[in-house]
Copies of this chain bind each other. A is one copy, B any other.
Amino acid sequence: MPHKQQSGRAFASDNWAGVHPEVLAAMAAANVGHVPSYGADPYTRDAIARISDELGGDAQVFLVFSGTAANVLCLQSMVRSHQGVICAETAHVHTSECGAAEKHIGCKLLPVPSPQGKITVAGIREHLRHVGNEHHVQPRAITITQATEYGTVYTPQEIRAIADFAHANSLLLHMDGARIFNAAVTLNVPLKAITSGAGVDALSFGGTKNGLVAGEAVVFFKLALADDFEFKRMQGMQLSSKMRFIAAQFSALLTNDLWKRSATHANRLAKMLAAELAGIKGVTLTQEVQANEVFVTLPREIIPKLQEQWPFTVWTEATSEVRLITSFDTAEADVTDFVRLVRDAMGTREK
């Protein structure tokens, strides 16, 4: 962890941010009396109803603690150990979850090149060459990330194309929606247009990166995938005993368009940041900014000093490409301050 947090502001990740005040208030409001544990309470019923409504109406919804868990438990419901999950080579579940899927499911991930974070039917098809051969892991699911790890976004049509290919080939489609809100506001479509309406079978519905303390949902649109899920969640160590407090967070996020307000703000600041940086000579945008992430190359020598004041991640050492993330609580002043610092560093450098 090379970051030296100084100012209490950062572009390191949307999980460096805290909690939206409306979310904390909802938790406090739920802190009344005794209610049944493990989710048999009215708060959880409310959250599930809101999530289901928002996503398409006929979904099975389960609350869990973490995004990694949502991904792994979704996929556990979709594949057996001898089956494989086709994913982007940049997928979080493949690169950044310490092998949780392999450990918990015993399965293999089958990566597809994804220079802009997205995968296509052509890439997926490469993994179908050995179907039926007992020596080879059998593809059974595809996972895509929305928005992707590069801050790019799948259109509803792109998702539908992958879903149709999947279903025509006895595959299931999972979406890692850790930043699904950011994608939806970019596309200006309802959440259901990029999930149930586009053929997605299972969704990791992420709240934490959009202002919750900790709260993710496993959502099944293909309802048979939910069979026995209560047991998988419990055995998977993701059953919250005081579930009302995860539920209250989600209900807040889905009340008065909080999710939309927060994601819209984060996206807007990301675009502002990108636009400002793109105007600086020596800084190059490497990915289209479609959500709340900005990827740029910077001169290697100025990075450490910038990080001291504004922690962020170096994404690709070789090209000194860095990742900057905005969140619901990023201020315009943060952007202008950071951009000024970059300009100064560039100027100093040129002299």
Contact = CB atoms under 8 A, between A and B. Distances in A.
B34 A231 contact: no
A116 interface: no
B237 A236 contact: yes
Contacts of A214: 65, 214, 240-242, 245-246
B231 A98 contact: yes
A108 to B, nearest CB: 4
Contact of A108 (B16, B36, B99, B213): B99
Interface residues of A, number: 83
Contact of A82 (B15, B72, B84, B235): B235
A167 interface: no
Contact of A102 (B3, B38, B107): B107
A5 interface: yes
B66 A37 contact: no
A48 interface: no
A84 B12 CA distance: 27
Nearest to A230: B134
A185 to B, nearest CB: 21
Copies in the complex: 4
A350 interface: no
A66 B237 contact: yes
B35 A80 contact: no
Contacts of A329: 34
Contacts of A238: 65-66, 237
B239 A82 contact: no
A31 interface: yes
Given A12-B34, A82-B99, A104-B104, 15 more contacts: A1-B38, A8-B34, A18-B244, A19-B31, A19-B242, A24-B27, A24-B28, A68-B239, A82-B98, A82-B232, A95-B136, A100-B234, A100-B237, A134-B233, A208-B242
18 contacts: A5-B41, A8-B34, A8-B35, A10-B34, A12-B37, A18-B30, A18-B33, A18-B34, A27-B27, A65-B240, A66-B237, A81-B103, A82-B228, A96-B135, A99-B108, A104-B104, A134-B239, A208-B242
